[in-house]
Amino acid sequence: MSDMIPVRTQEQYVRDVAEIMAIRARGAAPKALVHTYGCQQNVADSEKIKGLLEQMGFSFTEKEEEADLILFNTCAVREHAEDRVFGNVGALKNVKRRHPSLIIALCGCMTEQEHIAEKLRVSFPFVNLVFGTHVIHKLPELLFSTLTDGHRVFARGDDSEDRRIVEGLPVHRDGDIRAWLTVMYGCNNFCSYCIVPYVRGRERSRAPEAILSEFKGLVAAGYRDITLLGQNVNSYGKTLENPVSFAALLRMLDEVPGDYRIRFMTSHPKDATRELIDTIAGGTHISHHLHLPFQSGSDRVLREMNRGYTSAQYLALVDYAKRKIPDLSLTSDVIVGFPGETYPEFQDTVSLIRQVEFTSLFTFLYSPRVGTRAAKMPDPVPAEEKSKWFRELCAAQEEIAARRCAAMVGTVQRVLVEECREKTGLLTGRTDGNVIVDFHGNPDSVGAFADIKITSARNWILAGEQITK
């Protein structure tokens, strides 16, 4: 006879955790509070985490005092996000004191960093479970270990086995109108300021057949706005045995019949092709909204950032896109105060946004990330001066956004109606170009597309009246 301990399957871990939690739960059934920080990819990851928890018998709550498990899915892109996480985790110490059986877990990008994992190990002894982005599929096993061994569990994706793509995980989606669909994981670009390649790993693309199957399921379930996700979607398909371009994937999905919109993010300018622009222009369901981060208008700063393009190349791509898609809505990311950036170089950024006239911008003050090349660069400009530049950039963009929105007054826009606000009775939704519209209309329109006549504009938000019921 063999003395080997039989290996549990995923299904057994799910069943065992469900049985244990049914006994431990403080209420009739176990409840979990899942809080997500950061980008849409983190939101998509949290929906998989919730799907696994649901399999294990959990329902969900927003109240800490009701929860049997509190899980924070963390972001590592900026220092402010990390500080918020540490502050909020620290506040859970008193909750844990009142409810010793509470399981506290942290996962996500922060936890893939060794210095963060060590800080959690030493300074937050009441945290039971810490796991990284590459081992989400192991949550039932990790929870089982936490519940049965009585020891804290730390698990990060340190080997190639844990960096594979795991299909078929359950998903608990947070809404029934908009959906996130991950098409690839990781990044190979290594921009000098960015920690993502270190915490998310190298690029790995899902098989187009798996994406198409999930996409068809979302359309059949009535989702109207489906966003394809990847750290750099324009690199999709390069790691597949039979490479497929992102433009080809878009065309494949666009052929699925139904009443819906396709969006995607994020696009890297160095990999955005004319084929991609032509695909958007010729699509039936593809939104005429392109999020194309340029980060800086200075060529020297772009080289230091390791972005792989010049401002002239970026502008040439934008010019082609605007000619092919006249109603294109462009949004972007900008970093202010990159190490060594001068005021004239910052002015190159302001000049570029005035030339492009973006619909909106996501603007950030540079935040050093441990382990990146930029964190070791000389950074002589004081924070107060960078903040002045930041305010100047925001003022310029607000002027542009106000002008662009004002130009839409009097037009009719096809809007996806997303919600009815209880206090005001106003409906709210988004145009094809991802501009928010508040309007008076029929509450039964929520979840459907409606034609809205734009009556006024205030910076980046429009107001209107529904003309189709």
* Helix (H), strand (E), coil (C) string for 221-236: CCCCEEEEECCCHHHC
Residue position matching structure tokens 């899902």: 206
* The predicted structure's pLDDT at residue 468: 67
User: Binning pLDDT at 50, 70 and 90, where does residue 164 land?
Assistant: confident
Decide if pLDDT at 2 tops 80.
no
* The predicted structure's pLDDT at residue 162: 46
Using one digit for the tens of pLDDT, what is the confidence trace for 290-319? 999 999 999 999 999 999 999 999 999 999
* Averaged confidence pLDDT in the chain: 94
Closest CA to 103 of 144, 47, 155: 144
Decide if pLDDT at 7 tops 80.
no
Residue ranges and CATH numbers for the domains of the chain are 10-162 (3.40.50.2300), 178-403 (3.80.30.20), 412-466 (2.40.50)
Instruction: State the number of CA atoms in the 13 A half-sphere of 218 facing the CB.
Output: 28
Decide if pLDDT at 458 tops 90.
no
- The rounded distance, in Å, linking the Cα atoms of 456 and 465 is 10
Decide if pLDDT at 136 tops 90.
yes
Mean pLDDT of 155-183: 84
Using one digit for the tens of pLDDT, what is the confidence trace for 192-227? 999 999 999 999 999 999 999 999 999 999 999 999
Using one digit for the tens of pLDDT, what is the confidence trace for 389-442? 999 999 999 999 999 999 999 999 999 999 998 888 899 999 999 999 999 888
Closest CA to 100 of 123, 64, 126: 126
- The rounded distance, in Å, linking the Cα atoms of 203 and 239 is 7
- The rounded distance, in Å, linking the Cα atoms of 199 and 180 is 20
Using one digit for the tens of pLDDT, what is the confidence trace for 19-75? 999 999 988 899 999 999 989 999 999 999 999 999 999 999 999 999 999 999 999
Parallel, antiparallel or unpaired: strands 178-182 and 225-229: parallel
Mean pLDDT of 172-177: 94
